Structure 1
Amino acid sequence: MKTIRIGSGAGYGGDRLEPALTLLEKGNLDYLCFECLAERTIALAQKEKIANPEKGYNHLLEYRMNEVLPLTKQTQTKIITNMGAANPLAAMRKTAEIAQNQGIKGLKIAAVYGDDVLDQLTDLKELRILETGMPLHTLGDTIISANAYLGVDGILQALKSGADIILTGRVSDPALFLAPMIYEFGWEMNDYGKLGKGTLIGHLLECAGQLSGGYFADLEQKYVPELWDLGFPFAEVDEKGNGYVSKIEGTGGKITSATCTEQLLYEIHDPANYLTPDCVADFSQVEFKTLAENKIQFQNGKGKKPTNFYKVSVGYRNGFSGEGQISYGGYDCVNRAKWAGEIVRKRLEKWDFEEIKTELIGYDSITPFDGNPEAIPEVRLRVIAKAASLEMVRKVGQEVETLYTNGPAAGGGVSQSAEEIISVLSVLLPKKLAQAQIEYMNS
């Protein structure tokens, strides 16, 4: 029975590269997928593209491709990635340029786009925002991006055309991994049982190191060995959608039923009805079986017919935020830091801030401390505020800095920042209004 191997080269936009190179060198892979987009990531990429039409792709694209392309050519491994972000065409051109500069011939590079549906939303202002229930027009002219979560269609078309490197914009995360299974095994697009199994595999792999113990580990109950040298996972899968996940022998981390279970439930609202563009996956009966150390079999993934809608991430300008931080240590540091926060808040009240928040990192910034404040050796005051202009929010950090000589004793280590807030909301768009498009270049 035919099998293929698919590796995970990244779990987010800024992920490290070494584990991906190890997979290419030692994993005997057919495909390596880099999942590098989050909801807000693509909105920020669209903002960058607005400023420079040749940008808007992942900021580590050049770094990764410089290292990956020689190994890709050597091992005949195909690369599928959403590092195209807001500008897959520019990412394709840059990748082709890197290949040419390295003297790598014979690579077919594809750009999959069509997920940018900002123009389509112009006449659909009554669409309901999923998070608030309000109509889209309530965002006014603040919208800067709208990207639909496309499925496997564009990637499949590129694979059928012989592409070696495929750079997409916004597609669903599992689609990066599902597409090569459909292509290699000839699965029908209405065989939802197999699509559900493939979506399960894609979901397990999409966050890379998380399946190997990253974001899973703690020192007492869930210890993960050699976390500093975390190995990224791969899946070996057969034409029925069965197989196992593992990692390269000798790399750090661990893949167990527990790490697989945590990743299975990661970002899943309803395990029995995980909505994706290609199917509604059902993970409710999934079981994991240990075949050997770091070798876990998956089984009982299922799927149903997909909905008629794409989820669309809408990025919009949401004002500006300014921040200032300062540390206090030693005797009575908690009360001195609280006092400093009150001083800054009083100073900021003379201006028209939409919101002002103060917190003590190490005391109440995540969970309230209910013990003896005198037992805390140091805290860091964080003041953050929101306003309509960048000029105004810069006052936050400036006021925190003046605590050096105008606040409680022994404050130090001030930092300050100010930036525009890009927020993300979601709407549902009929699938007929978005279609994948593909262009190619050869090295």
Structure 2
Amino acid sequence: MKELLRVGCAAGFSGDRTDAAAPVVEALVASGGPAVLIFETLAERTLALAQLARRADPDAGYEPLLDDLLRPVLARCLAAGISIVSNFGAANPVGAARRIHALAHELGLRAPRIAVVEGDDLSGATQRPLLDAALGGAADGLSMVSANAYLGAEAIAAALLDGAEIVVCGRVADPSLTVGPALAHFGWARDDWDRIARATMAGHLLECGAQVSGGYYADPGIKDVPGLARLGYPIAEIDSDGHCTITKPAGSGGRIDAHTVKEQLLYEVHDPLAYLTPDVTADIGAAEVTELGPDRVRLSGVRGHPRPDGLKVNVCHETGWLAEGEISYAGARAEARARLAAEVLRERLQGLGPLRADLIGVTSVFGDDAGRQLAAQPPGDTRDVRLRIALNHAERRSAERLVREVTALYTCGPAGGGGVRTALRPRLGTLSCTVPRDQVPARHRFVPEERP
């Protein structure tokens, strides 16, 4: 039986804290055993925005915070033999790999062996027939920004077995960042569904960073979390059967207990008996969560079934322009003035399409684009109100009208409005489909290319 593999996660999305990695790395070093550091930085919209950034600059398109994430820990990881696996390659894994090489040089480090995983990007002309077949009529007239398949763990494992110290991915399934190192370390068969499913759920617990450490769990007076400002990011100790124990760096803030683990275990799981991933269909129907001690929780009892025949693909496409405007009203009759401003804007922008009006602090989260919720909410006497107005339109010129009309409220009334802020940006839509697995070959290669 091989010794435990420890996998620490230092990011749960693009824009996460950049000081999380150092305590995780120190905890991994202190453990003295095989260890991997992962950064999960992708979401559906994140990848589309990365593709747009690459259109503007061919050298861009990877995680914007790459330097900030890696600079504090790169030297320590290379010296301690801690592998780094991440999807921060986004739309440009090769560009990310080159930037990491440059960063290592700037830090006076030796050149690391960096592998990139490719095959997820289906936005090229040669893949369009594949997408058209999968989307059917929904593909007609689509102005596509990105199309990416959710790859699994096999290419990550192959890269690590080939000697990669850093593996840079684009779109892989979030749990696969953990499954890949486990496959490489333990040498499991690719159809060892139970073990792969257990590693998948270990990756699922890690993938959102500090959520499992109490971040997304915290609710004052109901679910209190100590040290929320200095949350410790999670570490999974995975054994040779795939079972895991979730913990965090000693002395860090947050909490890991049966409650936080159960919440994260069920997070975004559509069917607990059949959680579909590219690597396996995981079944947590008989899973057991056991507290072993302070900030140490073991997950066991996960079962696995054969992986799906197809791979999920997200297609992001242009859907017009989103125009937004905000203005504040305060003091006596503030809410009434904000409601009147919304009525004025609805009248002046009539015919452009649905106009969403939110009274932040009164009706916003539970609002709706048709304005029904706002109309149903009895007028109150809130004395501090922020009005938000939003419009989506296919044409930029029409969307710009909202921006001008909100600004005009300064002098056109109602009285006392101030603090106007407006924004206009392209809006993206997402379509999902599945494609045959054998039509999306994943592969890895080293950057720079290694010669015999």
TM-score between the two structures when normalised by the length of structure 1: 0.94
Residue number among 44, 49, 52 corresponding to 2:54 in the alignment = 49
Per-residue CA deviations over 1:266-318 (Å, capped at 9, x if unaligned) read 11110110110011011121111111011001111111101110100101000
Per-residue displacement from partner, 1:332-365 (whole Å, max 9, x unpaired)? 211110100111122222xx52332112111111
Number of the residue aligned with 2:388: 382
What displacement does 1:437 show?
A: 2.4
Which piece of structure 1 moves more, 189-198 or 241-250? 241-250
Q: Does 1:313 align with 2:314?
A: yes
Shift of 1:26: 2.8
CA contact (8 A) 2:328 2:418 kept: yes
DSSP-derived class of the 1:172 partner: coil
How many pairs align? Answer: 436
Q: 1:423-443 deviations in whole A, cap 9, x for unaligned?
A: 211011111111112221369
User: How many angstroms does 1:371 deviate by?
Assistant: 8.3
Letter in 1 for 2:11: A
The answer on 1:38 being equivalent to 2:38 is no
8 Å Cα contact 1:324-1:383 kept in structure 2: yes
Question: Cα offset for 1:99?
Answer: 0.8
Of 139, 150, 167 in structure 2, the residue corresponding to residue 137 of structure 1 is 139
| Structure 2 counterparts to residues 185-224 of structure 1, below 5 A | 185-224=186-225
| Greater relative contact order structure (CA < 8 Å, 6+ sep) | 1
Paired residue for 1:276?
Answer: 277
Give, as a single letter, the amino acid of the residue that structure 2 aligns with 1:37. Answer: L
What's the % identity of the aligned pairs? 38
Which of 388, 407, 412 aligns to 1:401? It is 407
Describe the SS at the equivalent of 1:235: strand
Q: Could you tell me how far apart the structure 1 residues matched to 2:21 and 2:72 are?
A: 10
Aligned residue in 1 for 2:344 = 343
Distance 1:398 1:311 in 2: 41
Does residue 156 (structure 1) correspond to residue 157 (structure 2)? The answer is yes
CA distance in structure 2 between the aligned counterparts of 1:386 and 1:188, rounded to whole angstroms? 50
Q: How much is the aligned-residue C-alpha RMSD, in angstroms?
A: 1.8
| Partners of 2:313 and 2:433 within 8 A in 1 | yes
The equivalent of 2:369 in structure 1 is none
Unaligned runs of 5+ in 2: 367-372
Summarize the Cα distance change of 1:371–1:309 in structure 2 as closer, same or farther, 3 Å threshold.
Answer: closer
Q: Counterparts of 1:307 and 1:242 in 2: how far apart (Å)?
A: 22
Q: Distance in 1 between matches of 2:227 and 2:446?
A: 41
Q: Which amino acid aligns with 2:46?
A: T
1:90–1:430 CA distance, 2 compared to 1 (3 A): same
Match for residue 233 of structure 1?
234
Q: Which amino acid aligns with 1:72?
A: C
List per-residue Cα deviations over 1:54-109 (Å, max 9, x = no partner): 11101111222222211212322110000000110111111111111212115211
Q: Distance in 1 between matches of 2:352 and 2:325?
A: 15
Distance between the aligned counterparts of 2:86 and 2:64, measured in 1?
13
Partner of 2:116: 111
The 3-state SS of whatever aligns with 2:72 is helix
Matched, 1:415 2:414: no
* Residue 242 to residue 353, structure 1, CA distance change in 2 (3 Å): same
Query: SS where residue 58 of structure 1 aligns?
Result: coil
SS in 2 for 1:281: strand
